[in-house]
Structure 1
């Protein structure tokens, strides 16, 4: 395989646009992090025609994948967690080329995990958690048990990722191994959901009750980023102003359900502003100051 990859990365390393090259090898009996490929080459470039593209190679009985990603797309993956394998690749991959210690600086930033980045990541996970929990509860109430089960599994997964981030770590692909060491209560809930011999409806009822408490306890950390943005302006915000704010657009379709959850838990208050229509009001949001 070395005969295959050496000319590939040497060609890329000679290009001035290349910031760094990492090699990730498949671990014994564990190919999830490399999508079953024997070797991944991750090339990070300053600018590219496309945010990222992939090439596949084969040599005898082995296969390799070349990922070329520009700096902007890589930072998006790392910040938003939309490509979870990349954090593992950057932290644990073998450095083949590192222009001006770019990869070393990237690793240092990931390990330090600045508070601003943690708050944003916790906010995104919290919004997804609220979405899954709320939708799952509706499915349970309407006896759509398999859909409720699917949503509560995802809700617990987002709760697990949120818990890992709270402790200052990046969630890994095998997040439950991390949670087992960090929060035994959440790990136990997950085990009870998937392994209990109780009827499914009983399992779900218990899980939603237990999850409600755990979710509520995460409101301060999960909403810190959103509330900090909303406090930047005196007075109330329209939903249009909130949704179009550059730092809040990453919440995407989960933003509204998160806002309504925070209203329900009295972290946000509603201000009604009259419209031209009789007895019709605009709905504005403002942060509630807690003592």
Structure 2
């Protein structure tokens, strides 16, 4: 099918905005990596009207998908970790076009995984973990065990990704295979949750206790990025924090994360007078730890 797709990707390669093109083939028993398509064409461009454009093709009982994404969107996905297949595509796909070694340089950056990049990814994953843990514990206390179970599974996934990031690697599609090798303790927790014969409430109770310890031990690392950003000025409104270029990546999890860090005294609240004498604005500043 590649020869059929050749005119399509050659046309993109001739565009001055195109930085790189990767072809990914479906592998047996790994259809999830290519979203069930036989071929994936990933076209990375410097800039475009839309951050992502997708087209589907079919030929001789096969199907292909072409994703055209901007460099900005690519780097955002890599930062947040919301498109895990992307890492697999970049490392294992066939490079069809590479303008000025853009893809080669990008893959070298990913392998090096600079410390600043790890700090941001750790902070984002930790914020996601906190939200899922808090919501899951609340559901558990309400005896909504199946809903709590779902949140615990998600929180364990975030813990798993954190352990991989801490090891200087990018979480892959098969993240549990990575975690089994890198941090067996988290892998064992996951096994106990899904394989144990204990009643679901007992499994959840055990997992919340273990997770609480692991979260506590990782809080300083998880808070490192947001605290380093907040040191840029003395005090912040919540809107200023939301609008900061790096903290905007925390999205909906930012406020829950901030409140968690306030409770643990990593962040202090400063009351600032408003126009109404009876109410104060809430400002946030780095704690004195």
Q: Give the TM-score normalised by structure 2.
A: 0.95
TM-superposed deviation, 1:267 = 1.2
Per-residue CA deviation, residues 157-182 of structure 1 (Å, 9 max, x unaligned), is 11111111111111111111111111
Rounded Cα–Cα distance in structure 2 between residues aligned with 1:176 and 1:284 = 40
Aligned runs of 1:1-291 on 2, under 5 Å?
1-234=1-234, 236-277=235-276, 280-290=279-289
Distance 1:275 1:11, change over 3 A: closer
Rounded Cα–Cα distance in structure 2 between residues aligned with 1:240 and 1:35 = 37
TM-superposed deviation, 1:14 = 2.0
Structure 1, unmatched stretches of 5+, are none
Per-residue CA deviation, residues 141-193 of structure 1 (Å, 9 max, x unaligned), is 11111111111110111111111111111111111111111111111111101
Structure 2, unmatched stretches of 5+, are none
TM-superposed deviation, 1:283 = 2.5
RMSD across aligned C-alpha pairs, in angstroms?
Answer: 1.5
Per-residue CA deviation, residues 53-103 of structure 1 (Å, 9 max, x unaligned), is 111112212211111112222122222222221111112111111111111
TM-superposed deviation, 1:241 = 2.4
Rounded Cα–Cα distance in structure 2 between residues aligned with 1:111 and 1:117 = 12
Three-state SS of the structure 2 residue aligned to 1:137 is helix
User: Alignment length, in residue pairs?
Assistant: 289
Distance 1:247 1:2, change over 3 A: closer
Three-state SS of the structure 2 residue aligned to 1:218 is helix
Three-state SS of the structure 2 residue aligned to 1:131 is helix
Three-state SS of the structure 1 residue aligned to 2:56 is strand
TM-superposed deviation, 1:277 = 4.4
Three-state SS of the structure 2 residue aligned to 1:123 is helix
Distance 1:52 1:277, change over 3 A: closer
